[in-house]
Amino acid sequence: MDTDRKEAGFVGLGLMGAPMAANLLKAGWAVSAWNRSPAALEEFEARGGVRVGGVEELRDAPVIIFMLPDLSYIEDAAAGLLASWSANPPAAGTALVVMSSVSPAAVQEFGARVARTSGGNAVVVDAPVSGGTTGAVEGTLAIMAGAGEEDFQRLVPLFNALGSTVRRLGPLGAGSLAKACNQLIVGTTTAALAEAAELADRSGLDVTALYDVLAGGLAGSRVLDIVGPRLAAKDYEPTGPAKFMHKDLSFVIESAAAAGAAVPMASAGVGLYAELLRQGLGDKDLAVVRQAVANLSDAAGDDTTAATTAGTK
């Protein structure tokens, strides 16, 4: 991959992808992008980016970033690109960078398929990010990469335009495993904070005051700092849909089974976020797990009342 060209393709201008692409433009990269909905592309063009009509038009870019919800979306979007590479292989060293949260095992399979389809000229790198929309806008994302050392080093200038913490964790799949570990901590910590908020609120405590004092002790965390205010205010306007946490924790379960590791917290988290989806809350912000807990509390209270009423008859 010729990083001196500072050219990149970008697929997926959503809540995270749009500010990430904007930061590449700010850093002097020539970025061409595809997105399913045109509104994001109009804003991208206004920032100096180039719109393409299909992902296959990015075939000659030295690096193509995908920021879509899951690997199945990436495989669908890249179908025409891979068909083009099969007929006419890309330049040696072309990098297809998956920055979404995906299955560690599935991204390795995808990497093998891309290598075969491209005649060995293209490599897949998984480099999922953490930091939310704030980190995406400010260019302070944590980037967890799975790649060979040489491929990683070629991509470091691009990653530095997007994040402030960039690490190679190992070969392809290692970045996605690191992101799964990240989501295990974020998802279960957010759930614990939601439970604490409901317990405190229903017991007459002020949730904001509780979080303030927790932040000064061992319970303080980045999750509390960032998600805590939304939990306390019951602000569920999406900065990142809660439904993706169920997907990400499922990757933890999958990886743990492969490694022979026990993950009781992840198992509990998968169950809670599955309940959140059943309640129809998946498109709201991750903080909506508090509403899911509240709904469970109300249902438990109704069951207790019904049982007590029945017992007095």
Segment 36-65, tens digit of pLDDT: 999 999 999 999 999 999 999 999 999 999
What is the value of pTM for the model shown?
0.91
- Boundaries of every domain in the chain: 3-170, 177-309
Residues belonging to the active site? 179
Residue 1: pLDDT over 80: no
- 154's CB contacts (< 8 A; 6+ apart) are 1, 3, 93, 95
CATH number for the domain whose boundaries are 3-170: 3.40.50.720
Q: What integer pLDDT is reported at residue 309 of this predicted model?
A: 52
Q: Give the residue-averaged pLDDT of 180-201.
A: 98
Residue pLDDT, tens place only, 61-119: 999 999 999 999 999 999 999 999 999 999 999 999 999 999 999 999 999 999 999 99
CB neighbourhood size of 56 (10 A): 17
Residue 5's pLDDT band (boundaries 50, 70, 90)?
confident
Q: Given this model, what pLDDT does residue 308 score?
A: 47
Kindly report, residue by residue over 299-309, the tens digit of the pLDDT.
987 765 554 45
Mean pLDDT in residue range 188-196: 98
Average pLDDT (143-162) is 98
Name which CATH class applies to 177-309: mainly alpha
